[in-house]
């Protein structure tokens, strides 16, 4: 599930607490400014003398040695492979997620799977459970698949090019592992490094374009320290995550301010600010999707007459999502997409009944008694590119033939499961589905007036579905 969209660029640290650059008049954004930053850059480039790399490296590393944050993945002990594994796990977790959130996940993960070998022996279910709440579940899947690949091969790849062969490891992660764990002189470029480089070199080009990214990789490659590549890469990221932040750069305390062309420009021309770099590219508007979600609760051991009965043995129907695409392979309550114009209760229920009938050997009218079916509310979940409005309903049913005969085909049993309340409570549901479950729980407590927590709703007489 999507996390805070602001997380990416500032994910490795807190906002800076140091003094900001001198106050100046607010400039227009680069795109609409009367001053063309690219026109200004050459003269300033002369002034800052093409950023002498050796001096910049030394200043940055000195600052990093004195100011780096104490983070658990930086404390990883053991040999190079243990360190490589720690860097890998932390870097994958840090993609799209802020440091304070990652710390707890990282520590729990490493306590459970301290080595790549132990991770390779885990199941996808276990990994998903551990990952629940971090979002972007593809990352967890790739970690597991990558671990299996590495264990099969017999050793941890030691170079960036070999690391890129591992499933889920791209240029950035390969560079981070190779430089930090194996001391290979290769660069890394993430959102923080892009920000620092675009300011150091006053690059106003669109950072989303591949030609601009290529330039950043080249610049980072020229800059990386040949003796301490891992520390240097971490220092660049640390600078971007702390002092050289998106909106409040602390230029007066910056160790490389004498090399910063954006700062020099801003001091020369009051209509320019360092925060004009990198150029802000408006995000594409997420598309809007709508879904009917039905939490199907199957009351156990009840006949036609439903009386006060504890619901501890009740089962919830969960469906496994397809192995490809959004939230691949994760469990959710029955969910079916509906058109925007068909989100009314009648159309949603029609779509849901059709879906359940296709999925299960269940005729909602003849094989089950619907004890209760009510709308619970809406929950909007924001993915990176989708705004999903979920219309949630609760349906409590009593099956005449029990759950054993619900699967239509043998292999359906791997795509759906019936699980009791305590398992639902403890399993690794995505944050959106967890929210749906909590909504339903709150609804039952309020609406059904149960006399004890966890009770099945009571009706003197069950009712057959009219849907």
Residues binding ligand SF4 (CB under 6 A) = 196, 199-200, 243-244, 249-251, 254, 256-257, 260, 262-263, 274
**From 82, 91, 152, 165, the catalytic residue:** 91
Give the separation between CA 15 and CA 347, rounded to whole angstroms. 47
Residues 6+ apart with CB under 8 A from 49: none
User: In DSSP terms, which residues pair with 396 in a beta bridge?
Assistant: 297, 372
Per the CB < 8 A criterion, the answer to whether 351 and 342 are in contact is yes
Give the separation between CA 62 and CA 262, rounded to whole angstroms. 22
* Nearest residue (CB) to ligand SF4, 273 versus 462: 273
* Nearest residue (CB) to ligand SF4, 243 versus 440: 243
- Give least dist CB 192 to ligand SF4, A: 11
- Give least dist CB 14 to ligand SF4, A: 15
- Give least dist CB 197 to ligand SF4, A: 9
* Nearest residue (CB) to ligand SF4, 233 versus 297: 233
Please name the residue ranges forming H helices in 208-361.
210-223, 229-241, 261-268, 345-359
- Give least dist CB 46 to ligand SF4, A: 18
- Give least dist CB 222 to ligand SF4, A: 16
Backbone phi and psi for residue 97, each to the nearest 5 degrees, phi listed first: -135, 145
- Give least dist CB 420 to ligand SF4, A: 54
* Nearest residue (CB) to ligand SF4, 18 versus 321: 18
- Give least dist CB 267 to ligand SF4, A: 10
User: In DSSP terms, which residues pair with 455 in a beta bridge?
Assistant: 310
Q: Is 80 one of the annotated active-site residues of the chain?
A: no
Residues 6+ apart with CB under 8 A from 46: none
- Give least dist CB 283 to ligand SF4, A: 23
Backbone phi and psi for residue 419, each to the nearest 5 degrees, phi listed first: -135, 145
Backbone phi and psi for residue 417, each to the nearest 5 degrees, phi listed first: -150, 160
* Nearest residue (CB) to ligand SF4, 194 versus 296: 194
* Nearest residue (CB) to ligand SF4, 278 versus 428: 278
* Nearest residue (CB) to ligand SF4, 135 versus 250: 250
- Give least dist CB 189 to ligand SF4, A: 15
* Nearest residue (CB) to ligand SF4, 251 versus 351: 251
Give the separation between CA 178 and CA 36, rounded to whole angstroms. 39
* Nearest residue (CB) to ligand SF4, 262 versus 295: 262
Omega cis (within 30) before 425? no
Look at residue 378 and give its three-state secondary structure.
strand
Residues assigned a catalytic role: 91
């Amino acid at each position: 599930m999507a996390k805070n969209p602001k997380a990416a660029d500032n994910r490795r640290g807190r906002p800076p607490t140091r003094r900001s650059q001198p106050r100046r008049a607010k400039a227009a954004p680069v795109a609409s400014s009367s001053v063309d930053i690219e026109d200004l850059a050459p003269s300033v480039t002369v002034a800052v003398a093409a950023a002498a790399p050796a001096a910049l490296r030394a200043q940055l590393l000195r600052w990093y040695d004195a100011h780096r944050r104490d983070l658990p993945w930086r404390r990883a002990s053991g040999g190079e492979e243990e360190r490589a594994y720690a860097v890998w796990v932390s870097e994958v977790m840090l993609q799209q997620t802020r440091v304070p959130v990652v710390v707890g996940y990282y520590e729990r993960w490493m306590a459970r799977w301290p080595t790549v070998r132990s991770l390779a022996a885990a199941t996808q279910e276990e990994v998903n459970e551990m990952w629940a709440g971090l979002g972007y579940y593809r990352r967890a899947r790739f970690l597991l698949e990558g671990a299996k690949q590495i264990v099969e091969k017999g050793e941890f790849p030691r170079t960036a090019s070999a690391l890129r062969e591992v499933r889920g490891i791209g240029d950035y992660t390969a560079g981070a592992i190779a430089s930090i764990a194996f001391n290979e002189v290769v660069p890394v470029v993430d959102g923080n490094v892009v920000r620092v480089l675009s300011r150091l070199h006053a690059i106003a080009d669109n950072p989303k374009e591949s030609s601009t990214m290529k330039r950043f990789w080249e610049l980072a490659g020229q800059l990386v320290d040949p003796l301490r590549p891992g520390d240097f890469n971490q220092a660049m990221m640390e600078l971007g995550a702390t002092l050289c932040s998106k909106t409040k750069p602390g230029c007066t305390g910056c160790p490389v301010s004498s090399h910063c062309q954006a700062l020099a420009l801003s001091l020369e021309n009051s209509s320019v600010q360092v925060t004009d770099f990198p150029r802000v590219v408006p995000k594409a508007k997420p598309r809007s999707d709508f879904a009917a979600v039905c939490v199907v609760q199957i009351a156990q051991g009840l006949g036609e007459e439903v009386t006060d009965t504890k619901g501890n043995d009740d089962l919830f129907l969960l469906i496994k999502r397809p192995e490809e695409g959004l939230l691949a392979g994760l469990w959710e309550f029955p969910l079916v997409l509906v058109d925007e114009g068909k989100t009314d209760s009648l159309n949603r229920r029609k779509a849901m009944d059709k879906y359940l009938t296709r999925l299960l050997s269940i005729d909602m009218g003849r094989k089950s008694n619907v004890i209760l079916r009510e709308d619970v509310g809406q929950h909007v979940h924001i993915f990176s590119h989708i705004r999903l409005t979920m219309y949630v309903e609760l349906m409590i049913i009593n099956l005449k033939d029990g759950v054993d005969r619900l699967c239509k085909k043998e292999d359906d049993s791997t795509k759906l499961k019936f699980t009791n309340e305590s398992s639902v409570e403890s399993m690794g549901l995505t944050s959106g589905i967890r929210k749906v479950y909590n909504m339903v729980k709150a609804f039952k407590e309020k609406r059904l007036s149960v006399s004890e927590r966890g009770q099945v709703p009571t009706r003197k007489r069950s009712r057959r579905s009219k849907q």
